[in-house]
Structure formats: structure tokens, C-alpha cells
């Protein structure tokens, strides 16, 4: 297993539910960190198109961190394309709820704190708004 998790950043170009200042702050932090990461325009749009890239992104032995929105939403976006994320190796950093600094710190932390909800349940995030 790799020392550092793979990092995926969602620009959320179409739904625009993530505050611009948070997205830009996290993206700037990723670029300045020197860590490798992959950026996609919009996971929701990729899921709607059944983009095969989601299967590639979900595959692999190493842990993954996804900077996007709610963990349950990300889980179902991948799941709807038969690209299930590993519940024990995936952390979703919720840019809808965190500040740019907190989200950047979480994404760049090498420790992965799995937070995908169990099948059929919602994410256990205190204060989370239901969508």
C-alpha cells in the first residue's frame, strides 16, 4: 500500500454547491503542496454520463481522499456507475461544510479517516444538512 493516499479534487462546475472560496483555497493548497492529485470538472456530471473514469478512480489498492461534498453523495455517485468505493480506504472531505483551511488540511493529511456511510444509511456528520 502506498504511503500517501490518492487525491481526487472535484471542481463542482455544474451543481455549484461548494463555495468558490473553499474550492479555490483547496485547489491552491493542493497545487502548492507538490503532492500528486487528480482534478475532475464535476463528479455529478460524470456519474450522470456513466463516465468509465469513475471505475478507474475507484479502483486500486491504495487509500483515496476525495475533496467534494457530502460523503453519502459521493458514495452514491460512484455506486450508480458500478464503481464502488472501498469503505475502509476512502475519506471524503466535505468542502460544502468545511472552511478552505480545514478542508486543505484534511486533504493533505496522509492519514485516511474512512467516512463513507454504511449501506442504506446516511453519513454520520453532525449538523449535516440533508440534500
In a domain, 120, yes or no: no
In a domain, 130, yes or no: no
Say whether pTM exceeds 0.75.
yes
In a domain, 69, yes or no: yes
Q: What number of helices (H) and strands (E) belong to the chain? A: 5, 4
Compute CA 50 distance to the chain's CA centroid, rounded to the nearest angstrom. 17
In this prediction, residue 120 carries a pLDDT of 54
Residue-range definition of the domain harbouring residue 19: 6-108
pLDDT band at 16 (very low <50, low <70, confident <90, very high): confident
pLDDT band at 128 (very low <50, low <70, confident <90, very high): very low
Residue 122 has pLDDT above 50, yes or no: no
In a domain, 113, yes or no: no
In a domain, 119, yes or no: no
Which class for 46: exposed (0-12), middle (13-18), buried (19 or more C-beta within 10 A)? buried
In a domain, 29, yes or no: yes
Give the span between the Cα atoms of 129 and 97, in whole angstroms.
Answer: 9
In a domain, 41, yes or no: yes
**Bigger pLDDT: 23 vs 57:** 23
Number of structural domains, the chain?
1
In a domain, 99, yes or no: yes
Amino acid at each position: 500500500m502506498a504511503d500517501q493516499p490518492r487525491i481526487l479534487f472535484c471542481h463542482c462546475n455544474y451543481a455549484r454547491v461548494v463555495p468558490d472560496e473553499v474550492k479555490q483555497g483547496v485547489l491552491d493548497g493542493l497545487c502548492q503542496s507538490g503532492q500528486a492529485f487528480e482534478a475532475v470538472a464535476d463528479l455529478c456530471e460524470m456519474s450522470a454520463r456513466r463516465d468509465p473514469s469513475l471505475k478507474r478512480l475507484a479502483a486500486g489498492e491504495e487509500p483515496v481522499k476525495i475533496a467534494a461534498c457530502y460523503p453519502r453523495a459521493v458514495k452514491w455517485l460512484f455506486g450508480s456507475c458500478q464503481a464502488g468505493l472501498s469503505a475502509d480506504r476512502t475519506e471524503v472531505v466535505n468542502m460544502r461544510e468545511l472552511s478552505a483551511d480545514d478542508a486543505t488540511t484534511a486533504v493533505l493529511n496522509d492519514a485516511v479517516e474512512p467516512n463513507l456511510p454504511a449501506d442504506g444509511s446516511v453519513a454520520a456528520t453532525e449538523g449535516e444538512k440533508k440534500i
